[in-house]
Chains A and B, each alone.
Chain A
Amino acid sequence: KNQVEQSPQSLIILEGKNCTLQCNYTVSPFSNLRWYKQDTGRGPVSLTIMTFSENTKSNGRYTATLDADTKQSSLHITASQLSDSASYICVVTLFSGGYNKLIFGAGTRLAVHP
């Protein structure tokens, strides 16, 4: 079954600290992996997208890694800010029946405290 699992479910860190969010997937055939940030009451916004040939991709203080062999990805946030408080969603693209289907994880809810 095509699934995307994220851990932890929720996380609290202090402002300025780093954190790493995990994503494991069983999606096949795999096209790409995306990380989205979703602020409370808003729609998801794309942070990074990686194909199977890419190991790492950065977007400012966000760095995503991908290990296509172990089917794991992580999102590392450096020097966290209060504005990083949000849900972070891992999304894997499955190519099936001529259509690219996005498989969403349930997200990790991050709270950054002063």
Chain B
Amino acid sequence: NAGVTQTPKFQVLKTGQSMTLQCAQDMNHNSMYWYRQDPGMGLRLIYYSASEGTTDKGEVPNGYNVSRLNKREFSLRLESAAPSQTSVYFCASRGQGMNTEAFFGQGTRLTVV
């Protein structure tokens, strides 16, 4: 029962480098999300995908792009990493319905130097 799987778990980038964070879920969920978690703050939504083929911006989308490759996979790309993007990133998925549970991955700790 894998749930939501994120890779990599840790990453160090130099300013200006690019990278893609991978996320896959095996629960047949329509909705997938990318959040960032910073000290002293709640998780903030970067992008979400309500269904395969659709993506929408969340509250902090600048500097990021996403791809909903298929129903299982939702990737987050940093085209030109900046120190302000140092954070812990979480992918989540949720089934249909207002009161369904959201399942989170283990997180990716990203440091941009």
- Residues on A close to B: CB < 8 A? 4, 31-32, 34, 41-46, 49, 51, 89, 93, 95, 99-107
Contact = CB atoms under 8 A, between A and B. Distances in A.
Interface residues of B, number: 22
B43 interface: yes
A32 B56 CA distance: 22
A103 B104 contact: no
Interface in B30-60: 35, 40-45, 48, 50, 56
A43 B106 contact: yes
Interface of B: 4, 35, 40-45, 48, 50, 56, 90, 92, 98-99, 101-107
A38 to B, nearest CB: 8
Contacts of B105: 43
B101 A46 contact: yes
Given A49-B99, A49-B101, A104 B42 contact: yes
SS class, residues of chain A in contact with chain B? strand
Contacts of A43: 4, 90, 92, 104-107
Given A32-B98, A32-B99, A49-B101, A42 B107 contact: yes
B45 A100 contact: no
B62 to A, nearest CB: 18
A105 B44 CA distance: 10
Contacts of A34: 102
Contacts of B45: 101-102
Nearest to B39: A106
